[in-house]
Amino acid sequence: MLRVFFALMTSLIFSVSAKPEASSGPVNGAVILQYHHVSDKTPAITSVTPAQFREQMAYLAENNFNVISLTQLVAAIRANESLPEKSIVITFDDGYKNIAESAHPILKEYGFPYTLFVAIEPIEKGYGEMMSWQQLQQLAAEGADIANHSWGHEHLVRKLAGETDADWLARVEQNILDTEAAIAKATGHNFKMLAYPYGEYNAEIQALLERHGYIAVGQQSGAAGVYSELTALPRFPVAGPYADMSSLKVKMHSLNMPVLAQNTTNPELKAGGWRPELRVTLDTSDIYPHQLMCFVQGQGAKKPTWLSANEFVIQADLDLPAGRSRYNCTAPSKTKGRYYWFSQAWVRPKNNGEWIKE
């Protein structure tokens, strides 16, 4: 289903009737790429091969992309500053050995910075496919930023049996702070940047992170920038069918959708709210509203209903399934020859309140 989802999104992007005129200049954000494995021996759904990764990095270099660190992007967003045209951030989740073996040498060759999000428990238990602290220290010494991926790669939104809301939030808080402290002790890095395990988060966790001065990245697609929430920065997952260069190029060139306001305050859906309504207000000065198209994951293309000249609404026709879902919207720029891309993540339990097993 996800393969169909991205194929249709790419088709919709290329089928718009007017091709914008290209231009260059500063932009309000950057595209964040998310990788897991760089190997031809790991599951394809979470992997790119070393050959694919080299092709992707060569494309960035040969086409004059501005590869920056995640910390640089965050600093620009916080200061409301523009970035150079075609800015890209490279991130990896989990800390697999094949990143050190296959990806790091290529990144070092091109001089590209990157962020590696790690969980502590797999490192300390010495899982065979995970990097050791010694390996992470070496990567950090050679320019990698080591950041927070929770203590044990937990589903942070899920409460334990009999746990109160207060107990759950206190547990999540301690998890994140303990992870940050362990990374700082081992590597000296203390960036206060979290990658949500599984891309799952809710409003309570976002507020917690904001209180402690953290930013966070999810797994919903889209370019990140001044219109993004710093506790829910989007990334484009690169793996399996989504590692194909023909569709990946579109994502690499995408722009931060100018979202001025939206009605969504919590991506975690509650019982009876399995068809969430998303209402969005845009700055349409560089967008043709009639060319904006949305997609409900698992349900296909969804034409938005415009409530005014710059406010639209979309809603699923069917209940979203238990687990993770997305609404995605894209629109061509009038001036830049590129496409604005916005994604809203959702997460929900089963009808009986239990979570699906993963």
pLDDT value at 301 more than 70:
yes
pLDDT at 156 over 80: yes
Q: What is the pLDDT of residue 24?
A: 52
pLDDT at res. 25: 58
Q: Residue 120's pLDDT is what?
A: 98
Q: Name which of 9-13, 153-157, 348-352 the model is least confident about.
A: 9-13
Distance separating alpha carbons of residues 200 and 2, to the nearest angstrom:
17
* 15-19, 160-164, 246-250, 295-299: segment of lowest average pLDDT: 15-19
pLDDT at 28: 86
Give me the pLDDT at residue 19, please: 36
The tokens for 298 are 């698992």
pLDDT single digits (tens) 261-283: 999 989 999 998 999 999 999 99
> The tokens of 252 are what?
């690499």
For 17, other C-beta atoms within 10 Å of its C-beta total 8
The C-alpha atoms of residue 25 and residue 27 are separated, in whole angstroms, by: 7
Q: What is the pLDDT of residue 27?
A: 76
State mean pLDDT over 239-265.
95
pLDDT at 8 over 60: no
Q: Output the average pLDDT for the chain.
A: 93
Please give the Cα distance from 112 to 79 (Å, whole number): 23
Q: Which residues contact 174 (CB under 8 A, 6 or more apart)?
A: none
Among 97, 93, 99, residue whose Cα is nearest residue 129: 97
* Tens-digit pLDDT profile for residues 168-184: 999 999 999 999 999 99
Question: What is the structure's pLDDT at 305?
Answer: 98
More confident residue, 351 or 6: 351
* Alpha carbon of residue 216 to chain centroid: 9
Q: Round to whole Å and give the CA distance between 102 and 84.
A: 28
* Rounded average pLDDT over 290-297: 97
Q: For residues 230 and 78, is the Cβ–Cβ distance under 8 A? A: yes
Q: Domain residues of the chain, as ranges?
A: 2-252
Entry pTM: 0.93
pLDDT digits (tens, 9 = 90+) for 182-213: 999 999 999 999 999 999 999 999 999 999 99
Region 309-316 average pLDDT:
98
CATH of domain 2-252: 3.20.20.370
pLDDT for 2 equals: 43
For residues 46-56, give the mean pLDDT.
97
Q: Kindly tell me the sign of the dihedral angle through the C-alpha atoms of 317, 261, 66, 192.
A: negative
Q: How confident is the model at residue 125 (pLDDT cuts 50, 70, 90)?
A: very high
Is pLDDT of 17 > 50? no
281 contact partners, CB below 8 Å, separation of at least 6:
259, 260, 261, 262, 310, 311
Residue with tokens 């001036």: 335
